[in-house]
Chain A
Amino acid sequence: MLFLVPSFSSFSMRQVQELAITLSLSTISMVLLVMTLLLGSSSIWRDIERRHTASILTLPISRDSYLLAKFLSIAIFIVLAGVVLAAAAAVMISLAATQYPSDLPLAWGNIVLAIGADVLKYLLLSAVAVFFSAVSTSFYLPFFATLVVYLAGSASQEVFEYVSGQFAQQIDPAQVAVIKGVYYLLPNFSAFDFKVHAVYALQVSSQAFLFPLCYAIVYGGIVLGAAVWVFNRRELP
């Protein structure tokens, strides 16, 4: 980020500050995605493969606590990474804003909100990764399944709105129903995207923030609950 933001921001003709914020937020999102995929996808199944679970679960620790503690360790790492990346972003954005002042004010509150929402999104995704890791015996299933869920969850809102509009008249109602069913099943990551608000200093309603927060807690709870349920029924060597 330290090299990317100053060198690429100057490509903009009229919105250097805005581009610096965009680059910083996109970099943070990309780094957190890679961390989530790698950490989440290599958690439970690897412990089973290396027989760590065999020794740990002989201690007075339930499988529930083990899995939740595993998730918590990943969550703490993601939050800390988010804080460090946010600090670096703040420095780069301040520098860009000082060099090329914009007509728009720097909405620090929105920037913090955008990064916070991103962290929340990747916590939710790491819960999904832990779920796949709990049912898997190799790296590939949790990694690629989590990646697919991430891509589908990021696109689901667009697709839902598309099939809810005029386009729905051209396709089979059964297909529309399936798409809508998948939409409710998948995590909706679009709700955590506050980048445009951060970049262009747009107003954010409290509802726009509280809804995704509650959604992440409830959806994350369900996914972790399912992961615990699956892990409790898994035969361990």
Chain B
Amino acid sequence: MIRRGIFATFLLVYGFLVLPFADFMADRPLEVKLGYLPHPQLLKILSADHDLIVAQSAVVKVLFYYGTIVGHFMENVIIRPEHANMYRTLQTATQLDPYNMDAYYFAQAAFTWQLERIDEVNTLLEHGAKYRTWDPWINFYLGFNHAYFLKDYGRAAVYLQRAGELAPENALFSRLAARYYYESDQTKTGLAFLEAMIAEAKDGAVKQTYTVRRDALLAVFALERAQASFVAKVGRQPKSLDELLQTGFLQRIPKDPYGGKFYLDENYRVRSTSKLAGDNL
């Protein structure tokens, strides 16, 4: 009887405890959820023959962490991600499994556009390119990063040509390679890349990041086109975007999806007060 009573008490206490416990676990700081991984060499030794699965679980952990932050961002709750820890985790994953495409893909999506940690991402991608010798996408990412962020069109063209050679059926690589060789327009280049990435994206958070960026560049492209028409017709640069509106070259000033306001800077380049960057995304 006493034993049953004790058992029933434990069950009852568990019933009261389980929901607050679940809430506590869900509300843990995101930093705790991302956690910390030991040195890749030690992890490789400890994981025995399960290194590939350990690598994949590290990537999934980063993805879940980032997905939660993107979810908060869409609800206007800004949380500063632990980028250094995210990058370290991805680096560890690629040491355990240098073929893991998810790690390279995610690094390219999360660390280039707003953070502009281009050199670190390129280092990771170079590591991947050594192993994934059949894969055009890693060369595509490298080519794009060199052209769009580093303005190194010569190297960009080399990477994209390699991507084109690996996937001759995909005209985009070759087309971009040609463009980079002739140092063509950056906004257009960015749009072409983003369209390709959106078409390929499977993960909702990643797709959302690219879509917002694409919409921002589309707005910039519309403004640049109107500006170019103004220059061609009037023979000088417009003083402001309002002048484009008043002279009929622009129907309306497009909305910046990052919440800023577009303007022309002192060099007549289209800029936004948001710097085309959502907080940390």
Interface residues of chain A, those whose CB is within 8 Å of chain B, are 11-15, 18-19, 22-23, 25-26, 29-30, 103-104, 118, 150-151, 154-155, 158-159, 162, 189-190, 192-193, 195-196, 199-200
Contacts and interface: CB of A to CB of B under 8 A. Distances in A.
Contacts of B41: 158, 162
B48 A196 contact: no
Q: Chain A interface secondary structure, helix, strand, loop or mixed?
A: helix
A3 to B, nearest CB: 16
For chain B, give the interface size range.
20 to 34
B53 A12 contact: no
Contacts of B245: none
Contacts of A26: 49-50, 52-53
Interface stretch (B77-85, B95-103, B118-126): B95-103
B86 to A, nearest CB: 15
Nearest to A157: B45
B53 A22 contact: yes
B203 interface: yes
Contact of B105 (A13, A104, A192, A199): A13
A195 B106 contact: no
Contacts of B106: 13
B63 to A, nearest CB: 7
Interface string B199-219: 001110010000000000000
Contacts of A12: 56, 60, 102
B50 A11 contact: no
A162 B44 CA distance: 12
A154 B52 contact: no
B231 interface: no
Contacts of A158: 41, 44-45
Contacts of B101: 14-15, 18
Interface string B19-52: 0000000000000000000000100111011101
B134 interface: yes
B152 interface: no
Contact of A199 (B46, B48, B52): B52
